[in-house]
Amino acid sequence: MSIAQNIKAANEKAGRFYATGKRKDAVARVWLTKGKGKITVNGRKIEEYFGRAVSRMLINQPFETVEMESKFDVNVNVHGGGLSGQAGAIRHGISKALCAYDEANRGSLKARGFITRDARVVERKKYGQHKARKSTQFSKR
């Protein structure tokens, strides 16, 4: 057994389930533990960290899909990107952790598109242009 498998087995024995979620430039490390539905992001309550209700709704979607709204406490460390990307990364991480908890959840989460990593990222700026696609104004003469 490798070190990673030993750690995973020890976490599952302790009742913790870990997954990494990604979206744009944001990376979220998510731990699920049995509890009452408390979500902590970078040591702060979810209401303090995400002011927008849309972001909080996005994070709770995986729990609503598998009908486990208040069965797990979620502890998240997230960095990179903006708040929207971080919310998407947390949703991705929670979905993967719910699959680690019970493989039967995978079908319903995959049908809603929560397991798939959204690969869209910002296009890089090209040299000789103002932005990624905006070029200088054309002059005929």
Q: Is the CB of residue 75 less than 8 Å from the CB of residue 40?
A: yes
Contacts with 15 (C-beta within 8 Å, 6 or more apart), sequence order: 33, 34
What is the model's pLDDT at position 60?
A: 94
Average pLDDT, the chain: 91
If one counts the domains in the chain, the total is 1
**Element (H or E) spanning 40, and its range?**
strand 39-41
29 part of a folded domain? yes
Domain that holds residue 62: 17-111
134 part of a folded domain? no
Question: Whole-model pTM?
Answer: 0.87
Taking the C-alpha atoms of residue 37 and residue 72, their distance in angstroms, rounded to an integer, is 5
Percent of the chain with pLDDT over 90: 79
98 part of a folded domain? yes
Taking the C-alpha atoms of residue 63 and residue 61, their distance in angstroms, rounded to an integer, is 5
| Position 25 pLDDT exceeds 80 | yes
User: For residue 9, what pLDDT band results from cuts at 50, 70 and 90?
Assistant: confident
- The pair of structure tokens assigned to 40 is 């902590």
25 part of a folded domain? yes
6 part of a folded domain? no
Burial class (CB in 10 A: 0-12, 13-18, 19+), 6: exposed
Q: Is the CB of residue 114 less than 8 Å from the CB of residue 63?
A: no
102 part of a folded domain? yes
What is the model's pLDDT at position 7?
A: 67
pLDDT digits (tens, 9 = 90+) for 109-135: 999 999 999 999 999 999 999 999 999
Residue 63: CATH number of its domain: 3.30.230.10
Give me the amino acid identity at 100.
A
| Position 12 pLDDT exceeds 80 | no
pLDDT digits (tens, 9 = 90+) for 73-104: 999 999 999 999 999 999 999 999 999 988 89
